[in-house]
Amino acid sequence: MRLTELDTPCVVIDEDKVEANLAGFQRHCDTLGVALRPHIKTHKLPELARRQLELGAKGITCQKIGEAEVFAAAGFDDILITFNIVGPAKLERLAALAARVERLCVVADSATVVEGLAGCFDRPERPLGVMVECDTGAGRCGVQSAEAALELARRIEAAPGLRFAGLMTYPKAFNEAQVQAWFSRAQALFDQAGIAIPTFSSGGTPSMWKLAEAPIVTEYRIGTYAYQDRSQVAAGACRLDDCALAVMTTVVSCPTPDRVVVDAGSKALTSDLLGLEGYGCVLGHPEARVVGLSEEHGTLDFSACAERPAVGDLLSIVPNHACPVSNLFDQVHFHRAGLLTRSLPVAARGKVG
């Protein structure tokens, strides 16, 4: 079946580009001796995560328990959840998950989070791994100093059912020097205290090729590299031709000579700008601009283009941000040279909790 027979809007993914993206960065990690723990938030597909493991990934990263539950049900047994687990409902789900997943690890950045975990996990023979999340410059979660990291590691170690599993950061992009400095300070402090740091975990696709600039890092977590997207092209992490995912859409209106309206709006492409101008890149029409999105309409400006599409034509748009696009579709379609290879349900779509 040809992709052009699919109903639109739909997500189409190039098999060869995904494979090249996955294999290429795994090779890079292998060369550097860094463990790769890909983030499944981008594809949300057990099938692709399995391929990542086959290629050499150590395990997977999930952001929410709901995602981890889907992957545990699919047989994954080495999962890191990089999110503070808070509240009785979540802790109960985490306990159930830990009973099914051989190697489960979470993070914590406050005594409150550690206390919650400690109150729920009390089996010294099978402790829950807990990493301390560190804010190395991104300004999101994480302890603010190496001293605070040490204090939290001590609290984790003091809890019989928990095990200190290392330091984790979601770094600011192109911030490798600060990650190196932050983690090095922590290492010196932990060394003095006689506490080993089993893992230094970092990662983010924009500066993925700068990984070697923070040599203290032993584990790298990235997601977007699987599909790549327009924001990663802008960041220099890939070329447009490496982008494996596109939204295929139909031209439904050409109300003026310059304006083209397609059936993909923010419900297909998301409103994510990520600092870019416009909402995507129209393949084959580099001068076209995706100037506006409402929920179901995308408005394109073709004023700078020599060729104009007509109503009924298909266009493929590389989104600014691939990950939330996966989250908007119940299924995605893989292809090789325009021929459908497989359609997969997005198993971990919509798992916000």
Residues that bind its own copies (CB under 8 A): 5-10, 41, 63-64, 83-84, 86-87, 89-90, 109-110, 112-113, 116, 135, 139-144, 250-256, 259, 261, 263-264, 266-268, 270-273, 292, 294-297, 299, 310-312, 323-324, 327-330, 350, 352-353
Write the burial class of residue 342 (CB in 10 Å: 0-12 exposed, 13-18 middle, 19+ buried): exposed
In whole angstroms, the minimum distance from the beta carbon of 320 to its own copies comes to 10
**57, 60, 63, 64 alpha-carbon torsion, rounded to 10°:** 170
- Select 214 or 348, whichever has its Cβ closest to its own copies: 348
To its own copies, the closest distance from the beta carbon of 241 in angstroms equals: 26
**CB-nearer residue toward its own copies: 39 or 335:** 39
CA distance 142 to 43: 25
CB 211 to its own copies: min, Å:
20
Q: From the CB of 268, what's the least distance to its own copies, in Å?
A: 5
Structure tokens at 226: 């699987």
CB 215, min distance to its own copies, A: 26
When the beta carbons of 55 and 319 are compared against its own copies, the nearer one is: 319
- Nearer to its own copies among residue 144 and residue 342 (C-beta): 144
**Residue 161 corresponds to which tokens in the numbers above?**
């059912």
Which residue's CB is nearer to its own copies, number 43 or number 90?
A: 90
**Which residues touch 13 (CB under 8 Å, ≥6 apart)?**
227, 244, 245, 246, 332, 333, 334, 335
Residue closer to its own copies by CB (options 73, 311) is 311
Residue nearer to its own copies on the CB measure, 89 or 196: 89
What span, in angstroms and rounded, lies between the C-alpha atoms of 277 and 284?
18
Burial class (CB in 10 A: 0-12, 13-18, 19+), 124: exposed
In the chain, which ranges are continuous DSSP H helix?
15-32, 46-54, 65-73, 88-100, 111-120, 146-158, 176-193, 230-235, 266-269, 322-326
- Residue whose token pair is 């292809």: 335
**Residue 152 C-beta: closest distance to its own copies, Å:** 12
Contact 241, 267 (CB under 8 A): no
Please classify residue 86 by burial: count the beta carbons closer than 10 Å to its beta carbon, then call 0-12 exposed, 13-18 middle and 19+ buried.
Answer: middle
Cβ count near 61 (within 10 Å): 29
Nearer to its own copies, 6 or 189 (CB): 6
Residue 241: alpha-carbon gap to chain centroid:
20
Minimum CB separation from its own copies for residue 238, in Å? 20
User: Looking at beta carbons only, is 116 or 129 nearer to its own copies?
Assistant: 116
Give least dist CB 278 to its own copies, A. Answer: 14
Give min distance, CB of 308 to its own copies, in A.
13
Q: What phi-psi label fits residue 16: left (phi over 0), alpha (psi between -120 and 50 degrees) or beta?
A: alpha
Residue 292's contacts (CB-CB under 8 Å, 6 or more residues apart) are 279, 298, 299
| Whole-angstrom distance, CA of residue 216 vs CA of residue 287 | 43
